[in-house]
Amino acid sequence: MMDSLMPESRSLNMAKIRGKDAGRELPVRRAARAPGLRFRLRRRDLPGTSDPVIPGRRIALFAHGCFGNRHPGCRLAYTPKPRIEFWRARFYANMVRDARKLGELSEAGWTAVTIWECETRDQNRLREIIRERVMQPPAPIPDR
């Protein structure tokens, strides 16, 4: 099946997609700011491209898109019918990269918190997610 747009139109559409300040990142920042969390943006010295970073808690927040980062079980994580093999390879590469970067962050002593695009739609629920995943202290490690 062919793409419904001409290559020039598709190129213009794809050029509008930006790597920062995406629509899903801004609600995450607002929700993190609400309880008074202080964060920094675009820390180049950390692995991955986290959105806000909360240095005091050593937490990197990732506002992942459900489509490109393959949110398991989400209706937004569909595979387009045109060029299925291209999309499968691209999604697989994204998942491998994400796993590698999360592992590097963990090795550096940071906690990665993923917030999915579909979770950013309801601001009240998003604030609750921030409280659950960021504000709660990690469970203590039991003595052996």
The domain that holds 111 is classified in CATH as 3.40.960.10
Helix (H), strand (E) at residue 86: helix 84-107
Residue 98 is part of which domain span? 19-135
- Rounded to whole angstroms, the Cα distance separating 93 from 28 reads 25
Model confidence band, residue 85 (pLDDT cutoffs 50, 70, 90)? very high
pTM of the predicted model as reported, rounded to 2 decimal places: 0.74
Count helices and strands (H / E) in the chain: 5, 4
Mean pLDDT, the chain, rounded, equals 82
Judging by beta carbons within 10 Å of its beta carbon (0-12, 13-18, 19+), is residue 73 exposed, middle or buried? exposed
Both tokens of 14, joined, read 């794809």
With respect to residue 141, please indicate whether it lies within any of the assigned structural domains.
Answer: no
With respect to residue 144, please indicate whether it lies within any of the assigned structural domains.
Answer: no
